[in-house]
Amino acid sequence: MTDRFHPLAAGSGTAIGLGTGDRVRIRNAHGGQVVDTWAFARPDPAEHLSMEHTRTTLERITLTVGDHLLSSRRNPMLALVEDTSPGVHDTLVAACDPARYASLGARADHPNCADNLRAALRTAGQEVPVIPAPLNLFMNVRWDRDGHLTWLPSPARPGDAVVLEALMPQWLVLSACPMDVNPINGHRPRPVDYQVRTRAPSLS
């Protein structure tokens, strides 16, 4: 059953409960916006989407359609089943948090993805002791030969979307990244939206 598109306000987060086979379309409604993405297994959120396990098995820093993204226990957790964007996503960089904004000269109480994650999970009745490395959808962090990283504007165009399929029951958490101090969101964080397609229609 395909749901309507739900708005995700600029700089805000949400947790979406998914069963195996459910799909979420994450749409860059206005273009140029990074979406920090995490997944936590249900019922045990100590198993979470892991960028380091995913890179190790894919033997890549990057993602491409058809990839299975792994959990911290190396179980397949999400599949990247569709991507109409230029395919630029980041697996290297930590979520923004108060200390990150302070280090960039902004106020430490700036909205941030780490707090968005915690608040979204709390709404879902979940607590996690640590903030795992996120999958930064649409985020353009470029590496060079010597390993230096450069933060660049997202190349996602208005309407570009990624579809993720849940490969286990989970909480999928999205944060429309509030970063406005470096250029990753073009210095202007924007809303995105998302749509959920459940594998089987409800029988009720």
- Positions that interact with its own copies (CB under 8 A): 46, 48, 50-53, 55-57, 59-62, 72-75, 92-94, 97, 99-100, 103, 129-133, 143, 145-151
Beta bridge partners of 18: 170
- Shortest approach of its own copies to residue 104 CB, angstroms? 10
Nearer CB in complex with its own copies: 52/109 = 52
Whole-angstrom distance, CA of residue 103 vs CA of residue 106: 7
Show Cβ contacts of residue 194 under 8 Å, excluding neighbours closer than 6 positions: 5, 6, 8, 14, 16, 24, 25, 26, 27, 174
Q: Which residue reads 């960089």 in tokens?
A: 93
Nearer CB in complex with its own copies: 29/184 = 184
- Shortest approach of its own copies to residue 144 CB, angstroms? 9
Whole-angstrom distance, CA of residue 40 vs CA of residue 173: 8
- Shortest approach of its own copies to residue 62 CB, angstroms? 4
- Shortest approach of its own copies to residue 120 CB, angstroms? 19
- Shortest approach of its own copies to residue 38 CB, angstroms? 12
Burial of 184 (C-beta count, 10 Å sphere; 0-12/13-18/19+): buried
Q: Tokens in use for 83? A: 């991507």
- Shortest approach of its own copies to residue 70 CB, angstroms? 9
Nearest CA among 118, 117, 39 for reference residue 79: 39
Nearer CB in complex with its own copies: 59/202 = 59
User: Which DSSP letter does residue 52 get?
Assistant: H
Region label for 120, one of left (φ > 0), alpha (ψ between -120 and 50) or beta (otherwise): alpha
Nearer CB in complex with its own copies: 7/87 = 87
Nearer CB in complex with its own copies: 66/158 = 66
Nearer CB in complex with its own copies: 60/199 = 60
